[in-house]
Every structure is written in structure tokens, then in C-alpha cells.
Amino acid sequence: MKRSIRVALLACAAIASLAFAGSALASFAPKIVVSAATPGANGGATRIGVLVGNSDDATAKASFYIPSAYQVGTPAAGTKLGNVTATASAAALGGAILPLTGELDAIAPSAATNAAAAQCGVSPSQTWDLHLTAAGQVLDIPMFVAATAAPGYSNELVVCLPPPQTALDGAKLLSATFTSSAITEPSAPGDYRWTSLWTPYASGATTPNPAGSVEVQGLQHLPAAVKLTVTKKRITTFVRRKIHGKSRKVQIVRTLVRFSSTVTEGTGPAASAVITTTAGGKKVGGASGSFTLASGKSAVLRATAVVDSDSGSVPTGQTANPLADLYFHDLGASGCTPSAIFGGLPCTDATVGGQRLSAIAKVKGYK
């Protein structure tokens, strides 16, 4: 497919006046994951991932509430905010999963995006664009930034999607991961809870299903860091060796290196972390251990902590990359704290965003 298609996504006007009188949960189990664009950074850019199941009802509208402690900038139109990866199921291609790649850009409002915002029921202060490509085609998904009066939250990001029956190749968005340099993490240590409101389309229909709306949360523990502690001890032994035909006692000096690592998130220890330690590129242990260095030798010790990453990653459609993919720890519904702003809607899932952290120490052996 060679043609280029640009789509300004308009959702049904009914979305703007949803009534949450009841809950008719069919098959709709979205997740949101919030993490750092640069693992271990303090006050850096934010990375966000979302995903729904292939068999779930299609998403009509999703609103992501940003905690007040985060700073939301106002980048100029044309500014690239970060990269995007996504996947979509294409009905026209037999349900094949399409990988999409692109970028998140700040754009100037246009007649098309203003109309989309009005039908989405939002009055944006900024308009961003998820600019994606797949199989030679272009897909632009407006993302609106709007102020919110919800207690504890300063802004919300709102996306409205068309029903798959009217989308490109019958595409149903399944996942997306994007970075926004315009959303800056708080520098104060703490546990920060994002929340989101999701509304699906009725199964097989082109109309939203307000009764199927759910709340979904994503936690971010800030800052996250791994601390590597190293001690060394001089070990001296003597051996007999023949030197110039005579047996002589020779002193052998080695260095015993002991190490241990701890991972902290927010104001306490990490709940889920796997630590691997290497010296000179070779594994010497996990969170703790020891090894010896020959006389005068040195080694670079690296502790790598994979934190909150035991439940999987947000699908990208690309070859799996543990160094780049957005992993998470799934807390399930029990990890949710239902928000009063949603009037009693079920809170169906909460995650903790994963990170890959590292600490380095150079160790010089005794001579």
C-alpha cells in the first residue's frame, strides 16, 4: 500500500456527555504504565504506555490524569516531544497485528483538530499529535492537553478513537508507548499515582458504551536508584617456587572484593527487583557476592537492577528489547485506589512502571 493517508480521528459526540449510571463490563481490560524516559534520572521526562487485549472491545475514549506534582510544559508547535511505538489489529488483513512507529509532536490547532476536540468533549490548552506510520501509510491521532479540576491532578491527556469499522484497514489500537519531554517528573521523593478513565465501544458496534467505562491506574515510585557498596581486603599468601634453580618463598598478593547492592524507589526499598553484578563484563553474582583480583589488577564493577518488570512489557510490534521496552509490575485490581471523581466506577487494574537501573564502581587491586 503506497498511498499516504492522514486521519483526523473524530469520535461520536455522545462521548462528550457520558452518563456513568452503571457498569456493564463486557471484555475490556486496559492498562496504563508510567515510567521514566531516562531510568534513574531525577526530574526527567515521562514515558507512558497503554495496552488492551486483542479480544477486548475497541477503545472509544481514554483520559489520563497527570498528578499535580508533574510539570506540564507548553512546547512550541512543531516540537518533537518523543518517540512512539504502537500496535494495531487490522480487520482488513485478517486481524494481523501491525507495528506502528513514529513520534509525538506538538502541533498548532487546526479546523480538523478543533472539530475533533469538540466531538471528543474537551477544551484543550494544547494539541499534540501521535504521528504514526505502518505499511507505507500515515496515521495521525490527536492528543489533547486540558486543565482539570480533579483534586490532586493538574492536567489530563485525552484521546478519542474511531470505531474499527471506520478506521484505516479496520484497525483497532492495541498498545502504544510514547515519551513526552513536556511532562517532567517531580524531583521530590514519593509514590505518584496516575489515573485514567477508559470508555469502550459497544461490542461490534460504532457507538460508545458508557456503562462499560472503567478506571485504570499507573504508579510511579520516584526516584528509583541502585546503590552499589564495595569493600576490599588484601590477602597475602606464600608459595615456594624455583628461582635460578633454588627453592624460594614467594609472596602472592590478591584482593578479595566483596559487594552488595540495594534498590530504592520513592521513600523506601523496591518491592520487586532483580540484581545482576558483573566485573569486567563477566557475571560475579547477584545483589551480593565476592571475587578475587590478581596482584595489581583492576576491574569495573557494574550492578544492574531490573525493577518492577516481572509482569511483561507493553507490546511494540518490534523485536523484543529488554534495554528499551517498557516493562511493568501488575498489581491488579487490588492495587487500585478508586477515585471519587469517577462516581464509583470500578477501578480494574493498577501497575508500577518498570525501570532498568545501574551503578558502577572501579576497583583497583593491591600490589
Per the omega criterion (within 30 degrees of 0), is the bond before 223 cis?
yes
pLDDT tens, position by position, 212-246: 999 999 999 999 999 999 999 999 998 888 887 78
Return the pLDDT at 1.
33
pLDDT tens, position by position, 44-65: 999 999 999 999 999 999 999 9
Task: Determine whether 3 is exposed, middle or buried from the number of CB atoms within 10 Å of its CB (0-12, 13-18, 19+).
Answer: exposed
Return the pLDDT at 19.
33
Mapped onto helix, strand or coil, the DSSP state of residue 152 is coil
Alpha-carbon span 21 to 199, nearest angstrom: 13
Return the pLDDT at 92.
80
At 85, the pLDDT band (50, 70, 90 cuts) reads very high
Return the pLDDT at 26.
54
pLDDT tens, position by position, 244-287: 778 888 889 999 999 999 999 999 999 889 999 999 999 999 99
Return the pLDDT at 244.
78
The DSSP string of 298-365 is EEEEEEEEEES-TT-B---SS---TTTS-BEEE--GGG----GGGTT--EEEEEEE-EEEEEEEEEE-
Nearest to residue 329, comparing CAs of 311, 305, 307, 306? 311
Q: Look up residue 11 and give its amino acid.
A: A
Return the pLDDT at 18.
35
* pLDDT surpasses 50 at 150: yes
Residue with the three cell numbers 527487583 = 273
pLDDT tens, position by position, 88-134: 998 888 888 999 999 999 999 999 999 999 999 999 999 999 999 98
- Given a contact cutoff of 8 angstroms between Cβ atoms, the answer to whether 222 and 206 are in contact is no
pTM to 2 decimal places: 0.88
pLDDT tens, position by position, 331-351: 999 999 999 999 999 999 999
Q: Mean pLDDT over residues 291-319, rounded?
A: 95
Return the pLDDT at 207.
94
- Given a contact cutoff of 8 angstroms between Cβ atoms, the answer to whether 106 and 77 are in contact is yes
Query: Rg of the Cα trace of the chain?
Result: 26
Task: Determine whether 4 is exposed, middle or buried from the number of CB atoms within 10 Å of its CB (0-12, 13-18, 19+).
Answer: exposed
Other C-beta atoms within 10 Å of 209: how many? 20
Nearest to residue 10, comparing CAs of 86, 128, 115, 111? 115
* pLDDT surpasses 70 at 5: no
Q: Look up residue 333 and give its amino acid.
A: A
At 167, the pLDDT band (50, 70, 90 cuts) reads confident
Mapped onto helix, strand or coil, the DSSP state of residue 367 is coil
Alpha-carbon span 203 to 195, nearest angstrom: 24
- Given a contact cutoff of 8 angstroms between Cβ atoms, the answer to whether 132 and 100 are in contact is yes
Return the pLDDT at 196.
98
Return the pLDDT at 9.
35
